[in-house]
Amino acid sequence: MRNEFAQVKALHPGRFFTNGCQRRLSLPDAYLSLACSMNPPQTAKDRLFAQAQHDYQPELVAIDAEAIARLPARADRFSNMIVGLSGKPAGRTPEGAAAYSIALNSLNFMFWTPTADGVARYHWGKEGGAHGLQAALDHVWGDESTPVRLRERLGAGEEPAVVDALGDISLPRRRAQFLREVLSGDALEQAAAGLVAAGQSGRLTSDDAEGLANRFPMAYGQDAYLMRAQLAVMWYAGYLLEQGIHVDCDITVAASYQMPRVMRSIKVLRFAPELAAKIDSHTLLMRNSAEERAIRSATVLGAQAMARHLEVSEHAMVNVLWQNRHACGTVPYHLTVTTDY
């Protein structure tokens, strides 16, 4: 045991405890990290957590284990996400719902634009943010159960067409490029068929998200945390739940901008004063900077720790955090110009 402990400390010098209750790695997690160093991760989810362990920098963002331990274990208050697809034309068939989930989440990022006075938030009609995107996509999708109208209007991947369809949205050129890839040929239908088959097996996982990233390397493959690819899987699982079909949805979708905001508000994440000041003053953080990686990794690992303590799935954990995002008051989210989330 002593030799194993020495190996763990050698792999992660200083990564056990900081002052007070802030922790880098718990002993079990440290042993898991040692095991991963000896045995390469076998699943996409294993690889995501290995990435998070690598990126974790508690001197910037630390997980407060004691704050997690104080959370009341009320599993009855948790549920998996439902998405409202059953009542839409795309939801008439599993294939349509899967295609919709993939198309929507290829665009599901950055609903704000930097301005001289701060940021301007995206709206479409009366809806804002992700709900605004969904409303715009519903309008383009029309009353078909397949993506035929979406492909006709946006399949060419032209920026003006995206602006015409989605309105004043950030990074329209990138969104046009993503749609060109997703809507090319029958790639979307093939990807949807893969999700349908996975759902029929009773299990949807981060491996299915990794499959989307491999099929659509531009739209889904650029994010080390597969955030939007996993959201697409989570959306399809939500549709199946609406249909009364329960599937095991084993994913981790915390590496966004709302999740760390919520976890900061409940003191599960503790930010270094300088980084907190940057976030509070709406200072842009560079994509893939040490600060952004620290935020995303701590959120992934913290959400996992919360789910384990509360004895719920990470799917349900993230859903509850998302549903409570409006209860955070004036706590701001970090600003990074990115297509990852």
pLDDT, tens digit, 9 for 90 and up, residues 62-106: 999 999 999 988 877 788 888 899 999 999 999 999 999 999 999
Per residue in 160-189, pLDDT (tens digit) is: 999 999 999 999 999 999 999 999 999 999
Q: Assign 306 to helix, strand or coil.
A: helix
At 37, the pLDDT band (50, 70, 90 cuts) reads: low
Give the least confident one: 4-13, 22-31, 39-48, 255-264. Answer: 4-13
pTM of the model: 0.87
Return the percentage of the chain with pLDDT > 70, whole number: 89
At 4, the pLDDT band (50, 70, 90 cuts) reads: very low
At residue 77, the pLDDT reads: 78
How far CA 202 is from CA of 120, 239, 246, 268, 314, in Å, comes to 41, 13, 7, 33, 17
Distance CA 184, CA 51 (A): 31
Per residue in 229-274, pLDDT (tens digit) is: 999 999 999 999 999 999 999 999 889 999 999 999 999 999 999 9
Would the pLDDT of 26 be above 70?
no
Q: Mean pLDDT, the chain, as a whole number? A: 89
Of residues 6 and 328, the one with the higher pLDDT is 328
Q: Give me the mean pLDDT over the 275-292 stretch.
A: 97
Burial annotation 38-72 (CB, 10 A radius, 16+ → b, else e): eeeeeebbbbbbbbbbebbbbebbbbbbebbeeee
Distance CA 299, CA 236 (A): 23
> Who's near 331: CB < 8 A, 6+ residues apart?
261, 264, 265
Which tokens sit at 14? 């200083």
At residue 31, the pLDDT reads: 38
Distance CA 176, CA 180 (A): 6
CA torsion sign for 136, 168, 110, 179 is: positive
At 38, the pLDDT band (50, 70, 90 cuts) reads: low
At residue 6, the pLDDT reads: 38
When computed from its CA atoms, the radius of gyration of the chain, rounded to whole angstroms, is 20
Distance CA 256, CA 265 (A): 15
Per residue in 136-149, pLDDT (tens digit) is: 999 999 999 999 99
At residue 307, the pLDDT reads: 94
Would the pLDDT of 322 be above 60?
yes
Is residue 215 within 8 Å of residue 256, measured between CB atoms?
Answer: no
